[in-house]
């Protein structure tokens, strides 16, 4: 029982349990990031298909496209960055890096769409850090108002923390100081981190706006604004926050900053909205196949009704053994329930979802990463961006409602040229709406399409098989679609005249 006064938060609480929960929530201080070089640079093993990335078709649209690089040396990055690249074990750039790095170095805005696990993070971090170094960035120091040169936003706490660790890795040995802020942790602690000095501010939208509104961060020096998982950052949930950020009184206008957006999926309507945030001559980079499922993931769809799902899962996990497996479900309650059930069945399991405390979420990821719990039951909160080595299997216990979410979920395996397996339970009572797009994604990735699924897809309605520009790229530049529609309309008018 008591009165809580914490930063701007003040509440009188009569319920001891709720009071303690709030105290825990407000005071969680995440463990500090690793200091030893070996931990900072722990390389992710590239897989047997890494070299096959070179065969992926790439399309860059827009005017005056800078030439791609073939090696990191061709990017003429500074010595420290080159050292960090080799310490990270990167021998050659992936396609999104070959094309993305020179585009950013040339000062252009970029919307990039490349398959999951193909190195988008380094594609924006490396050129940004290089530009900061070339611009003689000042060593940041303690100040009551910090003015970062770079702001990076991502939709989940775990993902933004991962991006921060990557920024720390590549800026190692430079004067550039990245800082991360995200919800579920002590605001006071994060503000103190920011005030120590901040060049690259990584944040989830809510916490970022909170710290800006407290007058601790000024935006007038922002040179780069990055939206990772950009289609998610601009969908209904986050779009108002993004608009608040770009219309903040001191945020440089789009003409006076570089705006970069990255994702593995980029629906056309979101692209059109994204264009509002960018200069008109932005470039659109598409790497890979329509629908964007990573070609290194072997996809299997099983018809399983909701009552048989648990038994089927046990059967699969028994065959898998101790290989690391992510199991996706549709609700937080189900995640808890299924994790408890699997533990009872002697599968060391942990879970991650939005109702778990941040401390528990980080513990769960840690236990999964280390292999202490080789099974992680997760909701959508873990679908995007998370880069966990040795994840060999993804199981969609419940299929998601959108195909983009499916593509991101199965992309937690088969990363960086490694191969992975995804098994999805299709329940015809609930999953008909995804049948058509699922068939398309499977066939584009040259995966087996079960006949029963084709039949469901044929009978289903509301989604389309067809992409107006054929079936090559994961997402096409929405400007091209408008152009094609314009020309089709002009042709039609001529025919009618
Ligand atoms: N050129 C490279 N050589 C070796 N490893 C690389 C290279 N580029 C990236 N990686 C590694 O590949 C892994 C996947 O990269 P990253 O997380 O940036 O993928 P992504 O495209 O952002 O995926 P997602 O769409 O899931 O967010 C990381 O561990 C990263 O360190």
For the residues of 90-115, what is the DSSP string, one character each? Answer: --S--HHHHHHHHHHHTT--EEEEE-
pLDDT for the residue numbered 494: 64
CA distance 18 to 46: 46
Q: Whole-angstrom distance between the N-terminal and C-terminal Cα of the chain?
A: 80
Beta carbons within 10 angstroms of residue 279's beta carbon = 16
Going by alpha carbons, the residue nearest to atom 8 of ligand 1 is: 119
Q: Which ligand 1 atom is at minimum distance from the Cα of 411?
A: 26
Q: Which ligand 1 atom is at minimum distance from the Cα of 408?
A: 26
Going by alpha carbons, the residue nearest to atom 9 of ligand 1 is: 119
Q: Rounded to the nearest whole angstrom, what is the distance from the C-alpha of residue 272 to the centroid of ligand 1?
A: 27
CB 117 near ligand 1, within 6 Å: yes
Q: For 37-287, CATH number?
A: 3.40.50.300
For residue 170, what is the enclosing H or E element? Answer: helix 157-170
For residue 58, what is the enclosing H or E element? Answer: strand 58-61
pLDDT for the residue numbered 487: 54
CB 122 near ligand 1, within 6 Å: yes
3-state secondary structure at position 209: helix
pLDDT at 472 exceeding the cut of 50: no
Q: What is the mean pLDDT of residues 284-308?
A: 88
pLDDT for the residue numbered 24: 56
pLDDT at 175 exceeding the cut of 70: yes
Least confident of 203-207, 215-219, 430-434, 468-472: 468-472
CA count, 13 A, side-chain hemisphere, 372: 8
pLDDT digits (tens, 9 = 90+) for 366-376: 999 999 999 99
pLDDT at 121 exceeding the cut of 70: yes
With cut-offs at 50, 70 and 90, classify the pLDDT of residue 236.
Answer: confident
CB 418 near ligand 1, within 6 Å: no
CB 119 near ligand 1, within 6 Å: yes
pLDDT digits (tens, 9 = 90+) for 135-152: 978 877 899 999 999 999
> In 266-353, which ranges are continuous DSSP H helix?
268-275, 309-320, 332-344
With cut-offs at 50, 70 and 90, classify the pLDDT of residue 489.
Answer: low
CB 94 near ligand 1, within 6 Å: yes
3-state secondary structure at position 188: helix
Tokens found for residue 57: 């078709």
Q: Rounded to the nearest whole angstrom, what is the distance from the C-alpha of residue 121 to the centroid of ligand 1?
A: 6
CA distance 67 to 76: 14
Q: What is the mean pLDDT of residues 387-405?
A: 96
Ligand 1 pocket check: which of 48, 100, 122, 475 to mutate, most ligand atoms within 8 Å of Cβ?
122
CB 203 near ligand 1, within 6 Å: no
With cut-offs at 50, 70 and 90, classify the pLDDT of residue 255.
Answer: very high
CA distance 93 to 212: 35
pLDDT for the residue numbered 48: 87
CB 116 near ligand 1, within 6 Å: yes
pLDDT at 249 exceeding the cut of 50: yes
Q: Which ligand 1 atom is at minimum distance from the Cα of 412?
A: 26
pLDDT for the residue numbered 471: 42
For the residues of 7-56, what is the DSSP string, one character each? Answer: TTEEEEE--HHHHHHHHHHHH--PPPPP-SHHHHT-PPPP-TTGGGGGGS
Residues 6+ apart with CB under 8 A from 187: 6, 7, 26, 207, 210, 211
pLDDT for the residue numbered 113: 94
CB 441 within 8 A of CB 403: yes
CA distance 278 to 486: 23
What is the percent of the chain where pLDDT is above 90? 79
CB 46 near ligand 1, within 6 Å: yes
pLDDT at 447 exceeding the cut of 50: yes
If one compares 160 and 290, the residue with the highest pLDDT of the two is: 160
pLDDT for the residue numbered 493: 65
SS3 track for 217-238 = ECCCCCCEEEEECHHHHCCCCC
Q: Which ligand 1 atom is at minimum distance from the Cα of 121?
A: 18
pLDDT at 320 exceeding the cut of 50: yes
CA distance 99 to 286: 10
DSSP state of 88: T
CA distance 307 to 269: 37
SS3 content of the chain, % helix, strand, coil (to 5): 40, 15, 40
Least confident of 75-84, 293-302, 365-374, 487-496: 487-496
pLDDT at 251 exceeding the cut of 80: yes
- Do 37-287 and 297-460 come out as alike in CATH topology? yes
CA distance 151 to 158: 17
Q: What is the mean pLDDT of residues 395-419?
A: 96
- The ipTM estimated for the assembled molecules is 0.99
Q: What is the mean pLDDT of residues 74-92?
A: 97
Q: Rounded to the nearest whole angstrom, what is the distance from the C-alpha of residue 282 to the centroid of ligand 1?
A: 23
Domain ranges for the chain, please list them: 37-287, 297-460
| Angle ∠(483,465,462) on CA atoms, nearest 5 | 100
CB 62 near ligand 1, within 6 Å: no
Residue located via tokens 């009572």: 429
Instruction: Name the architecture of domain 297-460.
Output: 3-Layer(aba) Sandwich (3.40)
> In 345-460, which ranges are continuous DSSP H helix?
358-370, 403-410, 432-444, 451-459
pLDDT digits (tens, 9 = 90+) for 9-68: 455 556 666 666 665 556 799 988 888 988 999 878 889 899 999 999 999 999 999 999
With cut-offs at 50, 70 and 90, classify the pLDDT of residue 478.
Answer: confident
Going by alpha carbons, the residue nearest to atom 22 of ligand 1 is: 120
pLDDT for the residue numbered 290: 41
With cut-offs at 50, 70 and 90, classify the pLDDT of residue 161.
Answer: very high
Mean pLDDT (the chain) is 90
pLDDT at 460 exceeding the cut of 60: yes
Q: Which ligand 1 atom is at minimum distance from the Cα of 72?
A: 1
Residue located via tokens 């992936």: 94
CB 46 within 8 A of CB 417: yes
CB 155 near ligand 1, within 6 Å: no
pLDDT for the residue numbered 138: 80
With cut-offs at 50, 70 and 90, classify the pLDDT of residue 470.
Answer: very low
Of 10, 62, 24, 66, the C-alpha closest to 275 is 62
CA distances from 289 to 333, 347, 406 (A): 35, 36, 15
Beta carbons within 10 angstroms of residue 119's beta carbon = 26
CA count, 13 A, side-chain hemisphere, 454: 7
CA distance 382 to 354: 10
CA 239 distance to own-chain centroid: 16
Torsion angle, alpha carbons of 99, 101, 107, 112, to 10? 60
């Amino acid at each position: 029982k008591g009165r809580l006064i914490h930063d701007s938060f003040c509440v009188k609480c009569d319920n001891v349990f709720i009071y303690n929960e709030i105290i825990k929530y407000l005071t969680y201080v995440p463990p500090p990031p690793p200091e030893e070089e070996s931990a900072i640079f722990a390389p992710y093993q590239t897989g047997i298909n890494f070299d096959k990335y070179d065969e992926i078709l790439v399309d860059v649209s827009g005017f005056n496209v800078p030439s791609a690089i073939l090696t990191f040396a061709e990017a003429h990055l500074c010595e420290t960055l080159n050292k960090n690249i080799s310490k990270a074990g990167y021998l050659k750039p992936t396609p999104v890096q070959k094309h993305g790095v020179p585009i950013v170095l040339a000062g252009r805005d970029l919307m990039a769409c490349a398959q999951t696990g193909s190195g988008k993070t380094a594609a924006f971090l490396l050129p940004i850090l290089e530009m900061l170094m070339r611009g003689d960035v000042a060593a940041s120091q303690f100040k009551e108002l910090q003015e970062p040169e770079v702001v990076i936003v991502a939709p989940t706490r775990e993902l933004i923390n991962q991006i921060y660790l990557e920024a720390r890795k590549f800026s190692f040995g430079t004067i550039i100081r990245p800082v991360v802020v995200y919800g579920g942790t002590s605001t006071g602690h994060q503000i103190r981190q920011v005030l120590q000095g901040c060049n690259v501010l990584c944040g989830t939208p809510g916490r970022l706006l909170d710290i800006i509104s407290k007058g601790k961060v000024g935006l007038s020096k922002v040179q780069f604004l990055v939206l990772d998982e950009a289609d998610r950052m601009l969908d209904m949930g986050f779009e108002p926050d993004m608009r608040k950020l770009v219309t903040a009184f001191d945020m440089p206008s789009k003409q006076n900053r570089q705006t970069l957006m990255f994702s593995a999926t980029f629906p056309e309507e979101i692209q059109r909205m994204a264009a509002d945030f960018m200069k008109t001559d932005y470039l659109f980079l598409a790497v890979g196949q329509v629908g964007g499922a990573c070609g290194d993931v072997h996809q299997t769809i099983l018809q399983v009704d909701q009552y048989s799902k648990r038994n089927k899962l046990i059967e699969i996990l028994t065959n898998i053994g101790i290989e690391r497996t992510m199991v996706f479900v549709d609700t937080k309650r189900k995640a808890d329930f299924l994790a408890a059930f699997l533990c009872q069945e002697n599968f060391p399991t942990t879970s991650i979802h939005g109702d778990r405390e941040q401390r528990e979420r980080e513990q769960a990821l840690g236990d999964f990463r280390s292999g202490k719990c080789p099974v992680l039951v997760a909701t959508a909160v873990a679908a995007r961006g998370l880069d966990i080595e040795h994840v060999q299997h993804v199981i969609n216990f419940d299929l998601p409602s959108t195909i983009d979410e499916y593509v991101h979920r199965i992309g937690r395996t088969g990363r960086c040229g490694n191969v992975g397996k995804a098994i999805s339970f299709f329940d015809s009572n609930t999953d008909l709406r995804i049948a058509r797009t699922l068939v398309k994604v499977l066939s584009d990735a040259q995966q087996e399409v079960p006949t029963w699924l084709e039949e469901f897809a044929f009978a289903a309605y509301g989604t389309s098989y067809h992409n107006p520009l054929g079936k090559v790229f994961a997402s096409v530049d929405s400007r091209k679609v408008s152009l094609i529609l314009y020309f089709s309309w002009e042709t039609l008018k001529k025919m009618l005249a």
